[in-house]
Amino acid sequence: MQIFLRRKWIIAAGLLPAVLIYTMFSIYPILSSVYYSLFKWDGFSPKQWHGLQNYVNLIGDGVFWQSIRNNLYFVLFSVLGEIPLGLYLAIMLNGKLFRRNGIFRTVFFMPVVISTIVVSLIWNMFYNYQFGLVNTALRAFGLEHWAQNWLGNPKLAIFVLCIVVVWQYTGLYMVIFLAALQNVPSEVLEAAELDGAVGLKRTWNIVVPIIADTIFASVVLCISGALRAFDLIYIMTNGGPSHSTEVGATYMFTQTFNSTKYGYGSAISTAIIIISFGLIMISQFIMRSLKR
Amino acid sequence: MKIKWAKTIGTGMLVAAMVAVLSACGQSKSTDNASGQSGQAEKEPTVLSFMTTWSETDPFTGVYYKNAMAFQEANPDIKLDIETIPYNDYPVKLSTTAAAGKLPDLILMIDGSATFQQIARSGALMPIDDMMGHWKEDFLPSSKIQEYNVDGKQYGIPGEISYTTVIYYNKKILRDAGYTEFPKTYEAFKAMVKDLKSKKITPISYGNKVGTVVQASLLSPVNERISGSGLYEEIKSGKQKFTDPEFMSALKEVKELSDLGAFNVDLNSIDNVQATNLFLSGNSAMYVDGSWGAKQISKDKSPDFELGFAMFPEFEGGKGSLSTTIGSTNQGVSLSAKLDDAKKAAAEKFLQFMYSKESYQNIMRDGNMVPANVEAPADVNPLFKEMINEFAGVKEVIPPFNIVMPANVTTVAKNGLQGLTTPGGSAPEAVAEELQKELGQ
C-alpha cells in the first residue's frame, strides 16, 4: 500500500511539468478567450462589457455559418477521402507487389513532409488561370471551355482546396495504416487463407476488423485536423474570393486581427471549440456503435 | 526497496551534477561579457529597438534600410536593434504587439491608417511636437504630413507620398487597337474597354488577392470623380450613408466594369506582382496600381515595351476633377510612449537624420515622391520622371478608402468588392448594406 501511494506521488510529480505547460499554453488561453468573448474590444482601447451580444451577433452572421459549412466540407472530404485512400495505398504497399520497394512509400509520404507553404504555392501554380498545369492540360486536350479560374470561382474554390488537403494528408494515414497492417499476425492470415478467404474478402473480413482501432483513431485525428485547417487556405485564397473559402479559423483570424474585433474573434473561437467538441463526440458515438 | 532508493539517490546526484555544470556554463558566459564590456568603451551605446518592414533587398524599402544604415554609421553611440517583418504580415504584427503593450522603441507606421490612429489614441505612442522645430514649414509643409497627425498631435513624419491610382498602359496594344491618346473621360474609357474586349484583349489586369488594391485604385478614384473629395468624411460622420445614391453609383460602376469583362478573370486570386507580369508580357492593355508599381515595371519590362501613364479619367457631370488624385503618405516612424530621456534624445537624432534633405533625395533617387520640398537629384530614374510629369497638374491629394475607413469596414469592403468583381457574386446593394451595418458597429 505504501509503495503504491508513494508511486502515485512519483507519477503525479512526473506529470506535473506537462500539466503545468498544458495549463499555461492551452487551458488558460482557452479560458481567457471565453472571457474576452464577453467584451467589445478593439485591442487598444478599454474593454466594454458586451454580455452575450457577441454570441447573438454570431448566430445571425451568415459568413460564420458559411465558414462552418466549409469546415464540414473539409471534414467530409478528409474522412471520406484521406482514410479510404490511405487504407487502399497501405494495403497495396503491404501486398507482395510493392512490399520490397521502399520508393513508393517515400513517394506517397512526401506531401506530408513538405511545408504547407510550399504545398500551397505549388498548387496555386497548378490552378493558375493563365499558365497553370490544370488549364494548360485541359486546353491541350481541346477542353478549353472547361478551363477556368479554379480558385476564383466561388462555387468551386472550396472543393478545389479539398483536393489539395486530401493530396497532402493521405500519405500520413497510409503510413499509420501500413504500420498497423504489418502488425497483423501472419498466423491469422494463413488460417484465413486455409479457410478460403482470399483477396478482397480477406481484406474486408479479416484485416480491416483487426486494424479497426487504428482506423477509428485516424478518423478522430482526421476530423480535428480538418477543423483546424488554416495555413493552406490562408496562403492559397486568404478566405476569398468574397468569403467563399472562409473556414472557421481564417474567419476568426481576419475578424480578430484584420478587423481588430478581439471580442468577436474570441466568440468565434469559442464557438469553434464547442462545434469541434460536438463533432468529435458524434464521431465517437458512431464508431462505438459500429464496433458493437 | 533498497535498490530503488539507490536509484533515486543516483538520479538525484546526476541531476545535481547537471545543474552544476549548466550553471557553471551560465556563469562563465556572464563573466566573459563583463570583462568584454569593461575592455571596450566607457560609454555604452544607446540601443533602440526598431520594428519595421525595411530590408536591404526589398525594392520598395531598400532605400530606407540604407538610410538607416548610414545613420548607424554616423552615430556609433546609438545602436539600432532592427526586427524586420514581411510587409504582408506587418499590420497583424503591429496590432497584436500594440494590443499586448509590447511595442518596441521605434515603430514603423506604413501609413496613417485607422489602425495607426487607434494605437496613437490608446496612448502607446509619443507625440513628437517638441521635435518638430527641426523641420521648417517651407521644407516640410504641414498639409503633407497631416496623415501622421492625430487629434492635433504629430506622431511621425512620412518618408514618401504615393498615388494609389496610376493607370499604366501598353502604348503598342492601344495604338494597334486604334487609340493614340488615352481617353480623358470615363465614358470614352468605358467605350475603349468594350472595344478592347471585343478584340479579345484583356483590358485591365488587377492583382486583388489581398483585397486592398481595388479599394485604393478603383473604388476610391471612382468615388472621388463622382462625389468630390469629401464623401468619406461625410459617411463617417453620418451625414451620408453607404446606401445613398452617391456611393451606390460608384459600386455600380465597379460592377459594370466587371460585367463588361474589363478585368483579368483571376483578379481576385493573384497578387500585384503576378498582375504586373501579365501586363508586361502583353496579356493585358492596362495595369492599375499605385505609383509604387512603377518600380517593378521599370525593373522587369523589356527594353522595347512602350509604357504609358495616365490618370483616372473624369466623369462628365461629376463633382471630382483631374487636379485631384488619390494618394497617401507612407513610411513614418513613431516613437514608443515608454522611451526614457536618453532613448528619446537618440530617437530624435534618428528622425532628424531619416527625414533630412539628403535622405529625402535618396528616397527620390530610388523612384519615390516625397512630402518635402527638395530638389530632385539629377540621376533620377527617367521612367519615374515621366510618371511625375503626367501628374504635374495635381493640386489635391486625398487618401483612399482603406486609409480613411476603420479596419473592420475595410475588411468588409475587401470581401464586398471581391464579390462585385466575381461573376455571379454579390450585388452592389448588398455590399452597401453590409458596409453600412459594419460602420454602425
CB contacts of B118 in chain A (<8 Å) are 42-45, 260
Give A-chain residues touching B98 at CB under 8 angstroms. 43-44
CA distance B43 to chain A (A): 37
Q: Which of A76, A8, A4, A42 is nearest to A264 (CA)?
A: A42
| Nearest beta carbon to residue B99 from set A43, A155, A243 | A43
Residue A209 lies in a domain: yes
DSSP codes, A33-77: HHHHTTEE--SSSPPEE-TTHHHHHHHT-HHHHHHHHHHHHHHHH
* pTM score over 0.95: no
Residue A22 is assigned to a structural domain of this protein: no
Compare all CA atoms of chain B with the CA of A237 and give the residue at the minimum distance.
B269
Name the one residue in this structure whose C-alpha cell is 458515438.
A285
Greatest extent of chain A over all pairs of C-alpha atoms, in Å: 81
Tell me the average pLDDT of chain A: 89
Nearest residue, CB atoms, A154 vs list B266, B411, B425: B425
Put simply, the answer to whether B419 touches A260 (Cβ < 8 Å) is no
Spatial contact of A133 and A125, defined as CB atoms under 8 Å apart: yes
CB B145 within 8 A of CB B355: no
Put simply, the answer to whether A44 touches B266 (Cβ < 8 Å) is no
The one-letter code for the residue type at B409 is V
Tell me, rounded to whole angstroms, the distance of Cα B142 from its chain centroid: 20
Rounded Cα distance, A49 and A70, in Å: 31
Cβ of A45 within 8 Å of Cβ of B418? The answer is no
Q: Do β-strands B396-398 and B324-336 pair in parallel, antiparallel, or remain unpaired?
A: parallel
Which of B210, B265, B419 minimises the CB distance to A149? B265
Question: Closest approach of chain B CAs to the CA of A74, in angstroms?
Answer: 20
pLDDT tens per residue across span A79-118: 999 999 999 999 888 887 777 777 888 888 999 999 999 9
Q: Which helix (H) or strand (E) holds B333?
A: strand B324-336
Query: Does A129 contact B269 at a Cβ distance shorter than 8 Å?
Result: yes
Q: Is residue A56 part of a domain?
A: no
The dihedral sign for the CA sequence B227, B326, B374, B116: positive
Pairing of strands B106-111, B46-52: parallel
Range of the domain at A99: 61-291
d(CA B97, CA B103): 6
Q: Has residue A41 been placed in a domain?
A: no
CB contact under 8 A, A242 and B265: no
In a domain, A99, yes or no: yes
Tally Cβ neighbours within 10 Å of residue A219: 21
Residues on chain A touching B86 (C-beta within 8 angstroms): none
The alpha-carbon gap from A43 to the nearest alpha carbon of chain B, in Å, equals 5
Q: What is the pLDDT of residues A192-226, one digit of tens each?
A: 888 887 778 888 888 888 898 899 899 989 998 89
From the list B265, B407, B415, the residue facing A129 with the nearest CB is: B265
B39: pLDDT strictly greater than 70: no
Closest by Cβ to A242, choosing from B124, B209, B419: B419
Based on DSSP, count helices (H) and strands (E) in chain A, helices before strands. 16, 2
Within-domain flag for A147: yes
DSSP characters over B139-174: TS-GGGSGGGEETTEE----SEEEES-EEEEEHHHH
Give the torsion sign (CA, A251, A256, A258, A259).
Answer: positive
Per-residue pLDDT of chain A (292 residues; tens, 9 = 90+): 566 667 888 888 889 999 999 999 999 999 999 999 999 988 777 888 988 999 999 999 999 999 999 999 999 999 999 999 999 999 888 887 777 777 888 888 999 999 999 999 999 999 998 889 999 999 999 888 888 889 988 889 999 999 999 999 999 999 999 999 988 888 888 888 888 877 788 888 888 888 988 998 999 899 988 988 899 999 999 887 889 999 999 999 999 888 888 999 999 999 999 998 998 899 888 888 887 7
Candidates B88, B208, B268: best to mutate against A (most CBs of A within 10 A) is B268
Does A26 fall in a domain? no
CA distance A213 to chain B (A): 37
B97 to chain A, closest Cα gap in Å: 10
A148: CATH: 1.10.3720.10
- Report if residue A10 sits inside a domain: no
> Could you identify the residue written with the cell 486530401?
A166
Distance from the B29 Cα atom to the nearest Cα atom in chain A, whole angstroms: 28
Which residues pair with residue B160 across a beta bridge?
B330
Closest CA to A246 of A74, A20, A78, A46: A74
HSE of B41 in the Cβ direction (CA atoms, 13 Å)? 6
Q: So what's the ipTM on this one?
A: 0.82
Within 8 A of B411 by CB-CB distance, chain A residues are 254-255, 258-259
User: Which chain A residues have a beta carbon less than 8 Å from that of B414?
Assistant: 240
Number of structural domains chain A divides into:
1
Partner-chain residue, chosen from A43, A242, A260, that has the shortest CB–CB distance to B415: A242
